[in-house]
């Protein structure tokens, strides 16, 4: 297949492009700069907000990863998030000739449901501009698919971590990169709210990339599928800190702050993607995730 990956130089887009090449596909990577794509991916310059310059194809499939993704930042710049995530997706659908689209979405579309783990049948109720913008992008892709123009798969991702090819997760607002920065001496301590018993789950970025390959290979024109993608295995914050200390052999000093009300961290029910695509995570055990991320940080000079 000939596949276009948007955001191919990003943390997840790089992993997806790498997996597609390994599976034997011809891959173009939509980027703003020609650096940072995996070996075997042909960089194509373009901007989703300047559709006249986008590649036209034809493509057998598109994996759409280019997006703004920070929840807290989205409250300060909601219009920027809607422009990038919704208008950028519409521009892609209008400009690029493709038979199928796999859209990278997020568990943030669910908001803060009481039901855990979360199945795809849980009503979407986003509580942030980021989550709302991704839900709108989903709807654009899914309604377009229902016209028969494309086949569509939406992959709602939970927490992603780990490393491929020595690439570091650039977002140090996330727990594992923050804890590793402390272990590396780049920060004096890790700040935790409360007792550290809040549970999070983690999925290796390479396992997520494998889900994209299965999705783009499986979907057919006119189909409209939505899958959660997560490990389903939770770990308390203090378990993550202990695992970072064990893997790195270095202390992670913790500064505790008073507990404060926090939205529950969503846990993934991945039953549907296991049944529909035969996908299962192979690399998402917490020690492997942390070891890969730590080695990447060390190689990067951290």
CA neighbor of 10 nearest in space, from 24, 27, 33, 1? 33
pLDDT reading at 270 higher than 80: yes
Kindly state the average pLDDT of the residues 95-102. 97
Q: Phi/psi at 22 (nearest 5 deg)?
A: -65, -30
Share of the chain above pLDDT 70, in %: 98
Residue 130: active-site member: yes
Q: Cβ distance 244 to 252 under 8 Å?
A: yes
Q: What one-character-per-residue DSSP string does 25-55 give?
A: -EEEEEESSSSSPPTTEEEEE--TTSGGGS-
pLDDT reading at 258 higher than 80: yes
The tally of CA atoms less than 13 A away on the side-chain side of residue 132 is 12
pTM assigned to the model? 0.94
Question: Distances in Å between the alpha carbon of 122 and those of 112, 244, 269?
Answer: 11, 33, 10
| pLDDT, tens only, 201-229 | 999 999 999 999 999 999 999 999 999 99
CA neighbor of 127 nearest in space, from 105, 106, 112, 107? 112
Q: pLDDT at position 91, please?
A: 98
Q: pLDDT at position 173, please?
A: 84
Q: Cβ distance 109 to 71 under 8 Å?
A: no
Q: pLDDT at position 185, please?
A: 93
Q: Cβ distance 4 to 30 under 8 Å?
A: yes
Q: pLDDT at position 2, please?
A: 98
Task: With cut-offs at 50, 70 and 90, classify the pLDDT of residue 285.
Answer: very high
Q: Which of 11, 81, 130, 227 is catalytic?
A: 130
Q: pLDDT at position 264, please?
A: 60
Q: pLDDT at position 262, please?
A: 58
Distance in angstroms (rounded) separating the CA atoms of residues 151 and 147? 10
| pLDDT, tens only, 170-199 | 888 889 999 999 999 999 999 988 888 888
């Amino acid at each position: 297949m000939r596949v276009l990956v948007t955001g191919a130089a990003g943390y997840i887009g790089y992993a997806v492009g790498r997996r597609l090449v390994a599976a034997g596909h011809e891959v173009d990577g939509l980027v703003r700069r020609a650096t940072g794509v995996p070996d075997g991916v042909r960089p194509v310059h373009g901007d989703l907000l300047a559709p006249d310059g986008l590649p036209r194809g034809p493509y057998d499939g598109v994996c759409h990863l280019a997006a703004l993704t920070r929840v807290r930042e989205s409250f300060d710049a909601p219009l920027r998030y809607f422009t990038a995530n919704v208008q950028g997706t519409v521009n892609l659908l209008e400009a690029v000739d493709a038979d199928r689209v796999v859209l990278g979405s997020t568990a943030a579309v669910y908001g803060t449901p009481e039901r855990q783990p979360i199945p795809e049948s849980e009503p979407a109720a986003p509580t942030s501009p980021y989550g709302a913008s991704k839900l709108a992008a989903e709807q654009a892709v899914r309604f377009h698919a229902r016209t028969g123009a494309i086949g569509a798969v939406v992959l709602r991702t939970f927490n992603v971590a780990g490393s491929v090819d020595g690439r570091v997760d650039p977002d140090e607002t996330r727990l594992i990169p923050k804890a590793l920065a402390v272990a590396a001496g780049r920060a004096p301590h890790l700040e935790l709210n409360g007792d550290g018993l809040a549970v999070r789950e983690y999925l290796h970025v390479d396992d997520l990339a494998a889900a994209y390959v299965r999705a783009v290979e499986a979907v057919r024109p006119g189909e409209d599928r939505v899958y959660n993608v997560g490990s389903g295995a939770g770990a308390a914050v203090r378990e993550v800190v202990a695992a970072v200390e064990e893997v790195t052999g270095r202390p992670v000093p913790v500064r505790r702050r008073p507990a404060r009300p926090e939205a529950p961290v969503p846990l993934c029910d991945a039953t549907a993607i296991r049944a529909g695509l035969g996908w299962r995570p192979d690399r998402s055990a917490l020690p492997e995730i942390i070891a890969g991320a730590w080695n990447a940080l060390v190689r990067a000079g951290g």
